[in-house]
Amino acid sequence: MTRSRRARLSVGALLPLLALSACGSAPDTDAEEPAAGAAASAFPMTFDSCGTDVTVPAAPERVLSFYPTMTEMMVALGLEDRLVGQVNTQYGTPSEQYADAYDAVRVVAEGEPSAETVIGERPDLLLAEQEWRFDGKRLPTRASYAEDGLPVLVSESLCADTKTETTVPDTYEDLERLGRLFGVEERAADLVAELEDVVAGVQEAVAGEEPASLAILSVYESTLYVQAGGLYTDVVERAGGRNLITSADLPAGEYYAAWSPEKIVRLNPDVIVFPYNDEQVRETALAYIEDRLGTTDAVRGGRVVGVPEPVFGGGVRSSLGVEEVARLLHPEMFTDGEEQE
């Protein structure tokens, strides 16, 4: 499908390409690319992981994933056999096309694991979405794990120093790094190209539409929070939205802050987007928004939409999330079948 035919885009024509690796049949690598696993001579490998040098001494065989987007990247690259398990599954679910392979990965802990649980899995690599998990209180520091020979790689999309500046193209760095680490560079490159094509197609589809003015909100312990900057803003803007809240409205270096409902009412967004992790969070947030923000155009117009939190968590999901959000903001531009003439 050429870019010129995407004025009205059906995601159904693109997702089968991305689903190949989830079924264990990634883009064709028969002749040139070895089976998953870089050559022994390539190790040790050292990566700059959010400003910290992390050395991986040998090809990982027992990877423990700390976040749905990290698990999903491994699945999308056909590397699920390298996963010893996943933790923090309460933070969200995978994209539909990866669900079967994702669900087959053993759940070690639905929430935050203890240090004893982590070591008990005998992992040789930890993949996490952010650095804060390894603060020496929740879990040992990354430096402490490194001393014990256990490397910890965190997502380049959500580094503490740059997370408010991250864009969707930045998320591909993690896929490329995993490709190198596991000797599937060609597979990773093909996947990145497919994701770029999805995002470009969506952006073309909504290019002529008036951006939907919106606010991204979440509710935690009866407090309203707003999100802006980084992937929160970039995903919705590529999907044809305009975030009324900017990084300038938030504390320096943060992409969230507590706000009063009255401030949102004064902004009066046309659409309210709220990230959620599970159905209970979704129902709680929706009830709060409808009750406290009922006078906004978004609520009165029935344009309060929930988006799975991993959409803003990097990896494969943020690119596919551009499609998910665009279909919510501009449903008239998308069809479930063939392109309409």
Distance (Å, whole) CA 289 – CA 273: 10
Q: Taking residues 171-183, what's their average pLDDT?
A: 97
Q: What are phi and psi of 149, to 5 degrees?
A: 80, 20
Q: Do domains 3-199 and 210-333 have the same CATH topology?
A: yes
Tell me if 69 sits within 8 A of 310, measured CB to CB.
yes
The closest alpha carbon to 70, from 56, 85, 58, 55, belongs to 85
Please give the CATH superfamily to which domain 210-333 belongs: Nitrogenase molybdenum iron protein domain (3.40.50.1980)
Tell me if 265 sits within 8 A of 293, measured CB to CB.
yes
pLDDT given at position 334: 83
> Please, which pLDDT band fits residue 336 given cuts at 50, 70 and 90?
low
Instruction: Assign residue 122 a region (left: φ > 0; alpha: ψ between -120 and 50; beta: otherwise).
Output: left
Q: Where are the domains of the chain?
A: 3-199, 210-333
Distance (Å, whole) CA 181 – CA 61: 11
Give per-residue pLDDT as tens, 41-52.
Answer: 789 999 999 999
Which top CATH class is 3-199? alpha beta
Q: Which range, 128-132, 206-210, 238-242, is most confident?
A: 238-242
Residue 61: C-alpha distances to residues 64, 85, 116, 156, 174 (Å): 10, 11, 20, 22, 18
